[in-house]
């Protein structure tokens, strides 16, 4: 399908945005937020057109292959970042977010379209489960990028290494507040995703498949996020422990949604292929 190769074009435009943001760290003046948002919107429109050409919405429901899932998550992350650019003019997050979204777009043509890497949803409850899960993953991706920035800023400030990159990033307090706000949203969305998935299982097969890899890893990820928010409210948790917990929750969710499916695809692949 030729439309699949539109994603690398979008990825190249996103990579150009990343280069412009990184070059602005050392060369003044920086690119204005509106111009950067305009260039990024071109990338998003190309991705959206390519996604529509993949026909993820059919007459009987949703049909998401891995490429479509990655494209949707990338679009959500880029859209939230673009809103931040237009409202607050924040460039610093783009140092990490733009390369992190460009790479998946460039790799989409290499993703397998085997049935194992395919998610189909025909009922309302199953569709809700898929959409809640994708939203939770996308927002937790943003929270993880903020957690990584928090770790880098905390380390740089403690070692008094205030270079151009550190100066280009938002303040430590801003990064932490954004991270916790995104963690709260991701926690609610993930809870809804797990709940709608279990309800759909009950409607479809008459029992809960609680021992599946996806359910166990998703619940573990949700438990980590709930623990973090609980400790934040009770003990004012902050610093490296909180950031590492966000990263751990993200890795668990990444393994639940994509990692297990990719491993299954490799295990079911014909020998010598």
Domain housing 205: 128-273
Q: Given this model, what pLDDT does residue 7 score?
A: 93
HSE, side-chain direction, 13 A CA sphere, residue 141: 26
135 and 75 part of one domain: no
Q: Given this model, what pLDDT does residue 102 score?
A: 94
Total residue length of the chain? 273
Q: Given this model, what pLDDT does residue 29 score?
A: 55
215 and 94 part of one domain: no
Q: Given this model, what pLDDT does residue 262 score?
A: 56
φ, ψ dihedrals at 237, nearest 5°: -55, 135
267 and 135 part of one domain: yes
Rounded to whole angstroms, the Cα distance separating 33 from 49 reads: 24
Would you say 112 and 67 are in contact if contact means Cβ atoms under 8 Å apart? no
176 and 103 part of one domain: no
Q: Given this model, what pLDDT does residue 271 score?
A: 42
Q: Given this model, what pLDDT does residue 10 score?
A: 95
Q: Given this model, what pLDDT does residue 28 score?
A: 65
Would you say 93 and 170 are in contact if contact means Cβ atoms under 8 Å apart? yes
163 and 250 part of one domain: yes
40 and 102 part of one domain: yes
90 and 163 part of one domain: no
Query: Where a domain ends, among 122, 143, 167?
Result: 122
Rounded to whole angstroms, the Cα distance separating 153 from 168 reads: 11
105 and 141 part of one domain: no
Mean pLDDT by 10 residues, the chain (273 residues): 84 93 74 86 94 76 74 90 80 84 90 57 73 90 91 84 77 86 94 87 65 81 93 74 92 79 51 41
User: What's the structural domain count of the chain?
Assistant: 2
Query: Where a domain ends, among 104, 122, 140?
Result: 122
146 and 250 part of one domain: yes
182 and 252 part of one domain: yes
70 and 139 part of one domain: no
Query: Where a domain ends, among 79, 102, 122?
Result: 122
CA 101 to chain centroid, in Å, comes to 8
pTM of the model: 0.82
């Amino acid at each position: 399908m030729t439309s699949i190769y539109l994603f690398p074009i979008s990825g190249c435009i996103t990579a150009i945005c990343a280069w412009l943001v990184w070059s602005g760290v050392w060369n003044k003046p920086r690119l204005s937020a509106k111009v950067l948002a305009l260039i990024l919107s071109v990338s998003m429109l190309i991705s959206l057109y390519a996604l529509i050409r993949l026909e993820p919405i059919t007459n009987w429901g949703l049909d998401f292959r891995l490429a479509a899932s990655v494209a949707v998550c990338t679009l959500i992350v880029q859209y939230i970042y673009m809103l931040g650019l237009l409202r607050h003019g924040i460039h610093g997050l783009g140092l990490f977010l733009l390369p992190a979204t460009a790479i998946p777009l460039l790799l989409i043509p290499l993703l397998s379209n085997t049935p194992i890497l395919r998610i189909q949803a025909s009922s309302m409850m199953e569709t809700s489960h898929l959409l809640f899960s994708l939203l939770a993953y996308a927002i937790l991706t943003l929270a993880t990028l903020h957690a990584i920035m928090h770790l880098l800023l905390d380390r740089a400030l403690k070692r008094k290494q205030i270079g151009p990159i550190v100066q280009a990033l938002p303040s430590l307090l801003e990064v932490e507040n954004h991270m916790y706000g995104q963690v709260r949203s991701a926690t609610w969305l993930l809870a809804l995703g797990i709940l709608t998935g279990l309800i759909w299982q009950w409607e479809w097969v008459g029992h809960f498949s609680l021992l599946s890899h996806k359910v166990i890893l998703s619940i573990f990820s949700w438990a980590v996020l709930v623990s973090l928010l609980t400790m934040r409210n009770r003990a004012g948790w902050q610093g490296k422990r909180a950031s590492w917990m966000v990263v751990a929750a993200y890795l668990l969710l990444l393994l639940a949604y994509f990692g297990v499916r990719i491993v299954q695809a490799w295990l079911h692949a014909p020998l010598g292929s």
